[in-house]
Structure 1
Amino acid sequence: MKNIVIIGGSKGIGNAILLQQLEKNKIYNISRTAPEIAHPNLKHYSLDVLQDELPEIETIDTLIYCPGSINLKPIGNLSINDFRNDFEINVIGAVKCIQHYLAVLKKGNSPSILLFSTVAAKLGMPFHASIATAKAGIEGLVKSLGAELASTVRINAIAPTITETSLASSILRNERMKENMIERHPMKGYLKPDEVAQMADFLISEKAKSISGQIFEMDYGLVTFKL
């Protein structure tokens, strides 16, 4: 049984990971709202990781940081605070959690860290300037820490395309928009949270013990293929 800390496990991809791991691992969830489930293997801490002091946890094998943002505006409509807020949510929060838990994590069993980027960090998309900039920071963090922690802790990131979560509800708000999104992807689909949770399960497992410092695009062909 692993001890897994999930930041943002109450909704979306984080919740899908939490539900997938809950039966076989001890889960510590840190988020502003509690998951809609009670389980003997789950301990929840209600707090804002950017504002509040993080709890002390004695044993950690895996740290997963899930918070993100979708702030899509033309560059002329993006304020400096938009860029600052997206960077705080996506990068500073992750750095704060890694720094706080790294000493404990290094003592864990095959310790690993999992972060989240976006396909927009690789593929230029209109109106994505703020979030793409923030997630590019995540990718740089993964590469740098992958090298720095190579002998002790693995770190990787998943870069999903649009995923059917509450965060993306405005983009997938009706059947027509969903159909358009499917057609936009060469493999004719977009992600469900459970698909991303399956990749997460692999990356934090012993099956991925040789993998660190990598960004895994889950993109239904959006970045790689031009058909």
Structure 2
Amino acid sequence: MKNYLIVGGSSGIGKKLVELLAEEGHNIYATFNGKPQEDYGNVQFSRLNILDEDAPDIEFLPESLDGLVYCPGSINLKPFHRIKEQEFLDDYRLQVTGAVKIIQAALPRLKRSGHASVVLFSTVAVRTGFNFHSIVSASKGAVEGLTRALAAELAPAVRVNAVAPSLTDTPLAGRLISTDEKKATLGQKNPMKRVGEPADIANAVMFLLGEESLWVTGQILHVDGGASSLTL
């Protein structure tokens, strides 16, 4: 039985990951920043606003952590000429600075484990250029750089990897796939002829958290139906 912190564990990929880890009997410490969540079984929820100026309050965590997954994200798609500087800064604060703050706060607990794993999230849009993706591509590109830098600095006590999905059917992507027709149309643009499901991504994170990946660090794992490397 291991101890895992899932930041943003109340929705989408984070929620599915919490469910899968709980099914394996681990102790899950999940955070939310919206509708209050009820604890269940071996899952404990705590409110956390990662954008607060103060350092994150993590007193609810045990003294040793075996893994940390940072799930908060945004999909802010706009033509480049319409984007204001503050929008880039806000996205960076959520995607990058937020991850930095929680990792720094949890690092002593992660090091106590001796074999901890940190998993961050990138996007297919870092490797493959898409129209209107400059905000998310810029911040997630920084996440990929952070992943590699921390993997080098924290080895061998803490492994650090990232998962880079393509479009996935989550509330975050709701306005892009708000109808079955939109979902089907966008799915046809993927080599696998569908959009991703939360379980597709959560299962990849499970691998990076588990003992099957003890020799994997500093990697960006593309779980995108082939979108980053295949041409239709």
Q: Same fold (TM over 0.5)?
A: yes
Q: Decide which of 135, 155, 158 is 1:153's aligned counterpart.
A: 158
Q: Contact (CA 8 Å) 2:114, 2:157: kept in 1 or not? A: no
Q: 1:210 and 2:215 equivalent?
A: yes
Kindly provide the CA deviation profile for residues 173-201 of structure 1, in whole angstroms up to 9, marking residues without a partner as x.
11221121111112211110011111111
2:113 alignment partner, SS class? coil
TM-score (norm 1): 0.96
**1:201 is the counterpart of 2:206:** yes
1:178 maps to a residue whose letter is: K
CA distance in 2, matches of 1:10, 1:119: 23
What pairs with 1:1-227 in structure 2 (closer than 5 Å)?
1-23=1-23, 24-33=25-34, 36-51=37-52, 53-56=56-59, 57=61, 58-227=63-232
Distance 2:198 2:38 in 1: 17
CA distance in 2, matches of 1:26, 1:34: 22
| Cα shift readout 1:88-115 (whole Å, capped 9, x = no counterpart) | 1100000001111111100115211000
Structure 1: runs of 5+ lacking an equivalent: none
Following the alignment from structure 1 to structure 2, what is the Cα–Cα distance between the partners of residues 165 and 39? 22
TM-score scaled by length of structure 2: 0.94
Amino acid in the other structure paired with 1:2:
K
Q: Is residue 38–residue 45 contact of structure 2 (8 Å, CA) maintained in 1?
A: no
Give the conservation status (yes or no) of the 8 Å contact 1:11–1:35. no
RMSD after superposition: 1.3
Aligned length: 227
Secondary structure of 1:45's counterpart equals strand
- Distance of 2:35 and 2:46 partners within structure 1: 8
Please give the alpha-carbon distance, in whole angstroms, between the structure 2 residues aligned to 1:43 and 1:108.
20
Cα 1:59–1:34 shift into 2, 3 Å: farther
* Structure 2: distance between partners of 1:147 and 1:32: 31
Task: Summarize the Cα distance change of 1:37–1:197 in structure 2 as closer, same or farther, 3 Å threshold.
Answer: farther
Q: Where do 4+ consecutive residues of structure 1 move more than 3 Å? A: 33-38
How far does the alpha carbon of each residue in 1:3-52 deviate from its partner, in whole angstroms, 9 at most, with x for none? 00010000010000001111311011122136755313122111202205
